[in-house]
Structure 1
Amino acid sequence: MKKIIYNTIFLLLALAGCKKDNIVAVIKNNPGAPAITTPAAASTITITKDDMDTRVVMRWNRADYGAKAVLNYTVQLDKAGNNFAAPVTLGNTATDSLSITRAGLNNAVMTSLGLPANAESEVEMRVTTAFNKDTVTSNPVKFKVVTYKDPEPVRLQLWLPGAYQGWSPPAAPVIYNVEGSNYEGYVYMATAGEFKFTSAPDWDHINYGYEADGKLTTDGLKGGIIVPSAGYYKFNVNVDALTYSYTLVESFGLIGTATPGQWDNSTPMTYNATTGVWTVTTDLAAGALKFRANNGWDLNYGPAVTADLSGRLIQTNDAINITEAGNYTVTIDMRQSTPDGYTYMVVKN
């Protein structure tokens, strides 16, 4: 009798276990999407130099699928009105909030979204999640971000107005301060004649004229320096010593073991007066590559980083390392139009 009772209890327990195993969670046909609570719509997040390490917290109410589930939330940001065509992901989390440094938000807005520095821009944020292939997305929230970027250091300049360009300081090319009171740079002058150096793009500040060969004067009534012929010139000026010099550059060329002329003869480049750059397309071997003017060594340049095929040019014994033979287009830009100064680019065709 006891045996029959035990068997009956075992059978009932087994049936109860089967029923438990067959319990299925019921998922809503229309799951509730997450709802963003922070940042508030139309609010503004201002980023400054001093608070880059502080954190901004985004918060939302969790999605409702009608059953408890571990969900992963993705937080995205895009330009307002872009309909999230090219969003940046700020992060992922299994909680109902995401923390990001102001530096990270600043970078996302300026670098990833391409919005301006030191300006207020409107963005929008959304939160998405999925469970059992059912994806839900929050309504986007628009808010503003005031970005921050350190100002570019002031680059001191001298303008070169002259007969070759109509004596117009605002339209004149410039040379740049390189150290202390020394300035240097390259300028193309389409005609021979007089020119001056000015400390501003006008005649209201210091203008430097001709005192004697190699010597400047700050007497604005004195005449200008004379270049004897049209051409591409390198200028050097010391505004404290009131000295100047110039060199006519009749050519720039490639030199080194990567070039046909090795270290003996330059491969000539062509100057484009419209773009202001020197270029050449030629075959290069694996080896060293530098640049020099007038097929000599008085003016020669190499890379700031030997392994880089583009970058800053400096006066150095180092050379660009060409690792693969082939046909290349090589460009140098001596206008100093960026803080990098003189630059180069070597592109394999």
Structure 2
Amino acid sequence: MKIRHYIGLMLLFIVAFQSCKKDETQARLASNDAVKPAVFNLDKTNLSLSKDNANDTVLHLNIIQPDFGFQAAVTNVLQFGLKGDNFKTVKEVVIPSGRSAMGFTGYELNSYLLALGVPTGKASEFDVRLKSSINTKIAAVFSASASLKASPYASTSYLYAIGAYEDWVEANAESLISPTSDGIYTGIINFPEGKLTFKLTPERNWSNSYGETEPGKIVYNGGQDIKAPRTGNLELQVNTNTNTISYKDHSWGVIGSATPKGWDADTDMKYDNANQVWKLTVNLTAGAIKFRKNHDWGTNFGGANGSLVAGGGDIAVASAGTYDIVVDLNANTYTLTKK
């Protein structure tokens, strides 16, 4: 009886101790008095951006780190928002861990601001602040905001997909294009069997890159290799504003009596992202060809004399030989060049 009584008291003491300890921890983490947001300053408040200063460091950021009341690794994210929008729409830029100072080139800053959908060639006003967090269980804290006025310029931005499909050779990486530098990039890549992994880089080197945290989600300077969902020609859309990536089938092939597979199947072409044309070198016989999308007759082109016509007649191939084929779907033209 005494032993049971003793064990009961011990259990009661342990529960009470754990409860008090838990309450103490929660109170400490929930106390706003212990949290001091980051303080930052920008060395300029008014900027004129142009291609002439694209490679220059045009803006410097200095940070006094936040204090959460205890030692913790802090992630700081610089947020750009439209003036007076209360950061409903933001462009976020992750500050490398431990950095208290950072510079931005004209090209980088121009891309961040264009991602907010502002016009080019005229001044727009922005609010800028720092978001600081230590983990997902504790609410982030925000600095006071600063004002910035800048005139972005029209530009085209690129991401490069360095990966197994081209044997991880930086110089051979396909490019994804954002025509207005709004943070949304598209490109078409052919992924062979067993070569589906890649990473995305702002330049054709490994200084900075995007990796994958889960399918469809990417992160800057982190994550694992990104993996395409299947083989073949895929159109990639990368949104660096929401850090997402998506895929859809997008292929064009040549079919017809002059092709190696006849009218039974397509011979796929390869997309040249830089020039936005489809290319193929192939052995043809005398006969006829057409071009079609995604191995289906729903979208197909015929034509004559170098001009494409949607659903048009067969294109004649006069004699057998090895041909370079180029299809430009923007200009609705094709070339057949016998080698």
Report if TM-score (shorter chain) is over 0.5: no
Q: TM-score, normalised by structure 1?
A: 0.39
Q: TM-score, normalised by structure 2?
A: 0.40
